[in-house]
């Protein structure tokens, strides 16, 4: 079910991809440091039970630090979606300023 959400945001990205992204290395460099920090937070929150996942509704594949695969994907996909949104907004703003 979580995957469903991930695909929900995936779409959005495709819509913007046409206009913008051709710089996977830059994107990777922007996302990696932030994702590492937030995944550390996620690991802590899971360990402390700040939040819990319904085991019947996740894939059940866990990466390092007991973090579900979906969470790893989240911290890749959401930042990409954010950058795409920002770049999309910039394109639209430029059009309006002309």
Partner 1 sequence: MRLELTYTDITVYALILSVLFDMFITRNSLLATLRFWLSYAIIVPFQLITNWWLTSREIVTYNPVEIIGIRIAGAPIEDLIFGFALILAVMSIWETLLKKYSTTRA
Handedness of CA 81, 17, 19, 12 (dihedral sign): negative
Per CB under 8 A, 69 contacts partner 1: no
Residues 19-38 that bind partner 1 (CB under 8 A): 23, 26-27, 29-31, 33-34, 37-38
Q: How many other CB atoms sit within 10 Å of the CB of residue 12? A: 15
Query: Could you give the CA distance from residue 45 to residue 41 in angstroms, rounded to a whole number?
Result: 6
- Maximal CA-CA distance, the chain: 52
The C-alpha angle with vertex 37 and arms to 85 and 53, in degrees rounded to 5, equals 85
Per CB under 8 A, 90 contacts partner 1: yes
Which one of residues 7, 14, 24, 51 is an interface residue with partner 1 (CB under 8 A)?
51
User: Shortest Cβ distance from residue 64 to partner 1 (Å)?
Assistant: 19
- Site residues, partner 1 (CB under 8 A): 1-2, 4-5, 8-9, 12, 23, 26-27, 29-31, 33-34, 37-38, 41, 44-45, 48-54, 57-58, 78-79, 81-83, 85-86, 88-90, 93
């Amino acid at each position: 079910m979580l995957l469903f959400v991930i695909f929900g945001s995936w779409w959005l990205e495709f819509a913007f991809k046409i206009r913008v992204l051709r710089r996977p290395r830059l994107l990777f460099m922007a996302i990696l440091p932030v994702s590492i920090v937030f995944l550390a937070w996620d690991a802590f929150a899971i360990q402390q039970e700040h939040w819990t996942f319904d085991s019947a509704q996740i894939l059940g594949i866990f990466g390092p630090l007991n973090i579900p695969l979906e969470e790893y994907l989240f911290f890749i996909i959401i930042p990409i979606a954010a950058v795409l949104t920002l770049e999309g907004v910039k394109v639209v703003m430029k059009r309006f300023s002309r």
